[in-house]
Every structure is written in structure tokens, then in C-alpha cells.
Structure 1
Amino acid sequence: MNTILHKANTRGDANHGWLHSKHTFSFANYHNPERMNFGVLRVLNDDTVSENRGFGTHPHRDMEIISIPLEGDLKHEDNMGNKTIIKSGDIQVMSAGTGVMHSEYNNNPDKLVKFLQIWVIPNKQNVEPRYDQITLDTADRKNKLQQVLSPNADDAGVWIHQNTWFTMTNLDAGKEVKYELNDSKYNGVYAFILKGDVTINGQALNERDGFGIWDVETLDIKADSGTEILLMEVPVKE
């Protein structure tokens, strides 16, 4: 078993006034050569956007981009013709492929938007750009595991061009679940603690901590308080 621990207070901190972003991995003006990625997990940004503000139209290519709103409503528009609102309980994915242009704005005049922006390096280059968005039943993660993303279009959740699975869970204090890796030979799991306190394979973790683990087949997860967790299983070996 190999692990890496990223405590919440060690993340990059970028405060632009209208945007306050915490960077788990190197991004924009935050550069740490020891925090470039976890396997193909390249970006994990914990963003807070002010009322009626947001990201103007900008390009991406050859990246799988996942947005998970935590609070408030985020307005999305892109050059594929999509004009949508994503909110807590939704998950959005874009395969940037040969190139997309999009914008994201806080759609609320009176409250902040908080969301995770996640980038995964794809296993295919120059694919046709694609957009998807679904609303999840959060009751399906109460004291159990809910798959929200996979490599397979027919599976639960959204899908991306990579051998990657995302799973979410909300656990009451004292509850335990076991996560079995889909591909333990090549993959590891990066756990991001959204709320509360938890112990994973003996490692105590707190809110907004990140914990990477590989060369294991299972994760033993025990909630030390009411907790919400995002598990990102991604390739870490070729």
C-alpha cells in the first residue's frame, strides 16, 4: 500500500475577490512541482464564486472536465449550443477533445456558488467534443456508495474517455463502507473529504483533506462524524 496525504491547509490559495479557489494540484499561478497530479487526475479546484460573477468564455481541449456543484446554481453556456443550470446534486462533464469554448457564472443574485472543478487527462486525443449533465438521487449515497462517473456510457452516472470511476457517499457517524477498486492493477483512489471526519485504511482525515492511495484492492472507510466523501479512482500506472 502506498499513500499520499494532502491536508486541507496545504492547498494553493487563490483569492481573486469574485473567485476564491483552493487548488489541490498546480494550477494557474499556483505551481508546486510535488503537487502536479495524482495519476491522470490533473486538477482538483474547490471554487467559490461571488453573486452574479463567473468565468467568461474560454477554451479547453483534450481534457475531460467534470463539475460538481456543492451549493448554489451555476449557469453554463458553450459553443456546442448548451445553455444549462447545474445545481447541488448534479454532475456535469465535458469531453473537450478537439476544442470547446464555454462560460460559467453564478446564477444567483444573492448567494455564493461553491463547486468542484476536476480535470482528468483522457486516454484518447482529438475526440469529438461532448457535453452531458445529470441529476443524481443523493438518497442513493446515504450510508452507501453511489457511482457517479465511469468509463462506460451504459453505467450509472456520466462517462468519460478514461479508465476512471467517481463514487460519492454520505455517512452517518460510526457507519462503515468498503470500496473495491475496479482496476487495482493500474488504478489508485484519491479521496476528497467534502465534510466531516473519516478514517480510510487507518488514515484519519478531516474536511477538505485529500488522500491518495494505490497498490491496494479495497478501501475500508469509517465515518468518525457525519461525513461526505468523493472517491476518484484513476489510472496511476501505465
Structure 2
Amino acid sequence: MASLVDVRRANERFHTRAGWLDSRHSFSFSHHWDPKNTHFGLLLVSNDDVVAPGTGFETHPHRDMEIITWVLDGGLVHQDSEGHNGVIYPGLAQRMSAGTGILHSEKNDSWTLTGEPAHQNPVHFIQMWVIPDEAGIKPGYEQLDINDELALGGWTTLASGMPQHAHQRAIGIRQRHAALHVARIRPDETLQTVTAPFAHLFVARGGAELEGAGALATGDTVRITGAEGRRITAGPDGAEVLMWEMNAAIPVS
């Protein structure tokens, strides 16, 4: 079966703008609703968030969801009802399994020992949700600094539940049909994308050329059904790309 390639441009995403938050959504989210754009493969949410200093998401609940957070700029303070807390920074992969239920907050409000704000600039991060392959699990949390792996070049597996990645240095997710890879592609460097039933590419920064899809800019996404490996070449400024590899899809009721 031939691959189906669906390019979605950055300015086509749903847009939420509040005084403290600028967020763009790749799929239906919150009050934004399009029955034809609810998910792709197992990926239910892919939000591109910018949070102003001293603000953030107050404590709120989640249930039965695998939530991956990837920071591009700044630091995001995480706290949850299971006792986990810390600052997520660029190159630190974070996963929260909501399971039977968890409360958490995410803020741009950490402070130095002298009482001065540590983050006086916005924090920019991507948050992605995939459904777990088992409901009602115990809530969990995991984080891992992968900056050394990213510096080596090529694709780095950021998070995975696939058995073939069990021995790789990556955070685990409770979804055996999904994996998330990231690459900081050097200027004019070419990499190969995955071969999988579903592949979702997001250009987090920079620009690139994808074989069969053309030029991609910051914020553009590509949804490939029946994905075969394709060449992706970074532009003169390089690119940071997030790539979901998925072997199943959310059943359509």
C-alpha cells in the first residue's frame, strides 16, 4: 500500500491565547473541536506551549494517559500528587503515567536560593499524550537526561514501550505500539525516518526538506500512514525534529 502523506502547516493549528499562555494544538483540544482531527495513530495530543514567567498550569487531574513533555527553551517546574517534583529543561525527557488518577501542576516559577526568580523568560515546551495499552495502572513518573546521546547525532529514542527498545537508554511508556524519537539535525545533514504503519513528524525548530513532502518550517507536522523510510534533510540552520513511530491506532467507534 502506498504511503499517505498529510502535511499540516504551523498556522493551520488550533490556537489558544491567554494572558500567560500561547498554545498551538495539532489535534482537537479543550474548546477547539474538529471531529475529523481528533488524533493520529495513538497520538491524541500534541501541544506547542509557551508559558510566561511566574505563571503556569495550576494543579489539575489526569487519568489513563501517557504524557510526554519535551522542553525547547527555559525550565518547567513539575509537581504531582505522587510526590514527584523538579525542573524539566532542554534535553531532559519526562514521562508521567496518569493511570488510576494523578494531580499535577506545571509552572514557569522556580526561584534561586536568594529569592530571585530563576526564570525571567518564557518557557517553551511540547507536550504529547498517547493512550496506554492498559487502563487503571498505578500512576508513575520518569525522567532522563539525553543530551549526551543527542550530541552524537542521528535519532535518539526519547520514550518507548516497544519491546525492541527495551535495552536502549530511554524512558518507558505503557504503550507497546509506540515510540518517540528526537534528532537535532545538523545543517544540511540527512537522516532517514522510520518505516511504520503510522509516523508523525513535528519540526520543533529550524527547517527541513522531507522526501515526498517538500519544505517544512518550524511548527509544521507530517502525518504518514503506511510510512516507509524517507530522507529528511535539515536546512542551513539545522532542525530539531520529534518523530512518533506507531504500530497501531486508536480504534474508531
Asked if these proteins are the same fold (TM beyond 0.5), I'd say yes
The reply to whether residue 102 of structure 1 matches residue 95 of structure 2 is: no
Structure 2 residue matching 1:34: 3-state secondary structure: coil
**Count, aligned residues:** 234
Mean CA deviation greater in 132-141 or 43-52: 132-141
Structure 1 residue 91: deviation in Å?
Answer: 1.1
CA distance in 1, matches of 2:63, 2:167: 25
- Pairing partner for 1:33 from 29, 35, 51: 35
Partner of 1:189: 199
CA distance in 1, matches of 2:31, 2:210: 32
Partner of 2:113: none
- Aligned partner of 1:62: which letter? D
The reply to whether residue 177 of structure 1 matches residue 191 of structure 2 is: yes
CA distance in 2, matches of 1:33, 1:125: 24
Q: Which runs of 5+ in 2 are unaligned?
A: 111-116
CA distance in 2, matches of 1:210, 1:9: 11
CA distance in 2, matches of 1:195, 1:82: 29
Partner of 1:67: 69
Does the 8 Å CA contact 2:27/2:46 hold for their aligned counterparts?
A: yes
Name the Cα RMSD after superposition.
1.7
The reply to whether residue 134 of structure 1 matches residue 134 of structure 2 is: no
Does the 8 Å CA contact 1:150/1:156 hold for their aligned counterparts?
A: no
Partner of 1:157: 170
Matches within 5 A, 1:111-126: 111-126=121-136
Structure 1 residue 139: deviation in Å?
Answer: 5.5
- Pairing partner for 1:214 from 210, 225, 228: 225
CA distance in 1, matches of 2:60, 2:234: 39
Q: String of CA shifts for 1:176-232, please: whole Å, max 9, x gaps.
A: 111333xx3xx3110000122212232121111010112133132112331111111
Partner of 1:231: 243
Structure 1 residue matching 2:150: 3-state secondary structure: helix
Q: String of CA shifts for 1:46-94, please: whole Å, max 9, x gaps.
A: 0011111111111000100111111111111111111211111111101
TM norm structure 2: 0.87
Superposition misfits of 4+ residues, deviation over 4 angstroms:
none
CA distance in 2, matches of 1:50, 1:180: 35
- Aligned partner of 2:188: which letter? G
Does the 8 Å CA contact 2:42/2:178 hold for their aligned counterparts?
A: no
CA distance in 2, matches of 1:216, 1:209: 18
Structure 1 residue 164: deviation in Å?
Answer: 1.1
Sequence identity (%): 34
- Aligned partner of 1:224: which letter? G
Does the 8 Å CA contact 1:42/1:120 hold for their aligned counterparts?
A: yes
Q: String of CA shifts for 1:158-187, please: whole Å, max 9, x gaps.
A: 110112111111222321111333xx3xx3
Does the 8 Å CA contact 1:77/1:84 hold for their aligned counterparts?
A: yes
Does the 8 Å CA contact 1:142/1:171 hold for their aligned counterparts?
A: no
Does the 8 Å CA contact 1:65/1:93 hold for their aligned counterparts?
A: yes
Q: Which runs of 5+ in 1 are unaligned?
A: none
Does the 8 Å CA contact 1:192/1:211 hold for their aligned counterparts?
A: yes
Does the 8 Å CA contact 1:148/1:157 hold for their aligned counterparts?
A: yes
CA distance in 2, matches of 1:140, 1:40: 25
CA distance in 1, matches of 2:181, 2:151: 9
- Aligned partner of 2:100: which letter? T
TM norm structure 1: 0.92
